[in-house]
Structure 1
């Protein structure tokens, strides 16, 4: 029998426009966009980002993932010419790749400064937490190209801020500055530009203290119940609560609480 071969086996050999840093001691992984000056996201990069999120999801040393960038801009968007060269079948898969932070079972933080346009905004919307700065500008400018967002941007945005604000952003290609994004609830926090790294570090340090199992359960529950009826969401919450009830982490949490000590969660 011939050895099975998959294109993904070689796709991560040479990362296109980004790098991955794993700090096992801090249970943290950083995916760093690194294509100066605007961190344009290429077609191959989208597929590679999906595979990296899947690989980090399977890495037990990693509890929290940070998506950030080098330079003054997170990303000005995708490679425009790449859309003209890609087949319709390929383009139809773009939203699946960009949804990888959402599918990842671990908490994902997007640290956004400067331009965060197009696919840069869309992949940030697929993350669990967004931290912005006073320099951040969110935008879905596809109308200027005679197009619409194609990687889930308008759909996620509408659920977060409503149809009126989404039409304002999408149909007018309007830029939303960081402070306004915070006011609208798109961002967890808005800080000065030089405070983005420290604010991100603080959130990571907070999240890694919790039970990895409880974090994974909470994320999946919230994602799965977003469109459910209240009754169905409560039912699903009860089943998740029941499963955690028998976990080692829950027992450790209860014992640590009564002993007035710090809990040592293992994710089991």
Structure 2
């Protein structure tokens, strides 16, 4: 007897909604590109697809670094407002899980933010490891204007980064902050002129792929896992991670390359 099993994910990725994916194996890079002009509004089905794409790229051996970017003047003005009213409570309850996909991904994820970066556009950027802002970037969580609050982790992640006072100022007033202010507050990793955004992303990708993929995965998970931990627990976990990496091939290669005054060749083992 055979039983056919079916899963919604089998067909969910047949046609990507509002974005496409590029993989450059030579540069060990994958780009997820939002492409619903002019504001790159993120639909409800798109959220499910983005999660699945991050999971697929996380398992793809050709990819070391993932870039989330957008075509056009704006990164994203937010979600499809009408979609919230049409979605079931069960679907809405999964919003934060889908948008947290970049954080769960073991590989480094870079968000390239230009123009409007509002609502879920800001929330998914906050779930990335690096945010490159420009002189045109405006970040906001404007849900109060709709009689709502951020629902995909935005207020929680932002409060961890900038504290409760600044988060209340942004969330409760639906206030926009510039790329420069985001940099000053520690939300953005760097801020560049908009015409240099592509080069800045390229440079960061090229830098990250030079490191050990095993050490990168370990560092990301350690930092994510210890964000809410006590200092003593964080130091204890850091020690365990350090101990495991000491026996890795990459660590041995790094030490030998250092003493040999040459560039290391890391293999992720």
Superposition TM-score, scaled by structure 1 size: 0.99
Cα distance, 1:2 vs structure 2: 1.4
* Partner-residue secondary structure (3-state), 1:227: coil
For structure 2, list consecutive stretches of 5 or more residues without a partner in the other structure.
Answer: none
Matching of residue 209 in structure 1 with residue 218 in structure 2: no
The alpha-carbon deviation at position 134 of structure 1 amounts to: 0.5
Deviation string for 1:39-63 (max 9, x for gaps)? 0000000000000000000011111
Calculate the aligned-residue CA RMSD, in Å.
0.5
CA–CA distance in 2 between the matches of 1:266 and 1:34? 34
1:96-245 matches, within 5 Å, as: 96-245=97-246
**SS at 1:109 equivalent:** strand
State the Cα distance separating 1:194 from its structure 2 match: 0.1
- Structure 1 residue 261 corresponds to structure 2 residue 265: no
How many residue pairs get matched? Answer: 268
In structure 1, C-alpha distance between the alignment counterparts of 2:268 and 2:62, rounded to whole Å: 11
Normalization by structure 2: what TM-score? 0.99
Question: SS of the residue aligned with 1:127?
Answer: coil
State the Cα distance separating 1:89 from its structure 2 match: 1.0
- Provide the secondary structure at the position in 2 that maps to 1:239: helix
Q: CA deviation at 1:4?
A: 1.6
Unaligned runs of 5+ in 1: none
3-state secondary structure, aligned to 1:102: helix
Q: Report how far residue 3 of structure 1 moved.
A: 2.1
